[in-house]
Amino acid sequence: MAHGHHHHTHTGGILTLDALAACSGLRGVSPGLKMVFSAGSLVLCVGAADAVVGAAAACSMAVIIWLLGKVPLDHLLRLLRLPLLFLAVSCLVILLECTRVPMGLWQLRLGSLWLCVTAQSLNRAATLFFQAMGAVCCLFFLSTSTPMPQLIEVLRKCRLPELMIELMYLIYRYLFVLLEVQRQMTVAASARLGYDGWRRSLTTAGKISGGLLASSFRRSSACYDAMEARGYEGRLAFLCRTPKLRLCHVLAATAYLLLLGLLILIRKRGIAL
């Protein structure tokens, strides 16, 4: 009886991001600008391949998300937890080198082999870590500040094929509908001890996926009726009032990108000197 109460109480990451974007302090900023800004800083951060630039980008983006985006700090840390964990594990692998002789800054004997940390591997791991963290923060900036429909409308303006735009809208909408159905089915299943024990949990999860597919099929024809009833004739279009581009926002974004560029310049020239 002790199992089965934990794994379905947490809500998916998408729900959190969606809710954060809906009440972000930056929701009044043009989504196109936010997209360009986030892509620009991402390119600078990845392109620079430098630990200091990465760390600066990561920290500044986190501060922007926190202070301007009004995302509570504990929410932000919870969001960063998963990529941090993933990165820490992969960077550990890069940090450690396996050699026949002890070398570098730190060694550990493993039978006839040595696990070493060299200055080179440390540099490589740190660069990768901060580069990736910077990139992650740039993307979190976009996803915590821009509601999905606004992003989709920007993509529509970028002349993405109509079919893809419609699919994005529908997938995004039904993601939430199906998540809710799945949650209800899971609760109903655990009420009948469907999650009692590992083996049974697995069977139940399988049955729920099947049920979800069946109910999606049933639902799709009802949804199509409802679309037709409102005159759907093959083009899915909604009113979407996106915030206008404002000069002060453009200037602020440009200033940030220039500063980041300047930092890269200083770092690169510093190495050259």
Q: Name the minimum Å distance from CB 40 to other proteins.
A: 26
Considering the complex, state which of residue 230 and residue 269 has its C-beta at the smaller distance from other proteins: 230
Q: Name the minimum Å distance from CB 171 to other proteins.
A: 10
Tokens of 170: 């529908």
Q: Measure Cα distances from 187 to 6, 176, 208, 239 in Å.
A: 11, 16, 11, 36
Considering the complex, state which of residue 223 and residue 257 has its C-beta at the smaller distance from other proteins: 223
Q: Name the minimum Å distance from CB 229 to other proteins.
A: 5
Q: List Cβ<8 Å contacts ≥24 apart for 12-20.
A: 12/179, 13/79, 13/82, 14/175, 15/176, 15/179, 16/75, 16/78, 16/79, 17/79, 17/143, 17/144, 18/147, 18/148, 20/69, 20/71, 20/75, 20/144
Considering the complex, state which of residue 119 and residue 229 has its C-beta at the smaller distance from other proteins: 229
Interface with other proteins (CB under 8 A): 18-19, 22, 147-149, 169-170, 172-173, 176-177, 180, 219, 222-223, 225-233, 235-241
Q: Measure Cα distances from 114 to 69, 117, 120 in Å.
A: 47, 10, 16
Q: Name the minimum Å distance from CB 71 to other proteins.
A: 17
Q: Name the minimum Å distance from CB 79 to other proteins.
A: 19
Considering the complex, state which of residue 66 and residue 172 has its C-beta at the smaller distance from other proteins: 172
Considering the complex, state which of residue 53 and residue 148 has its C-beta at the smaller distance from other proteins: 148
| Residues 6+ away with beta carbon under 8 Å from 57 | 41, 44, 45, 134, 137, 138, 260
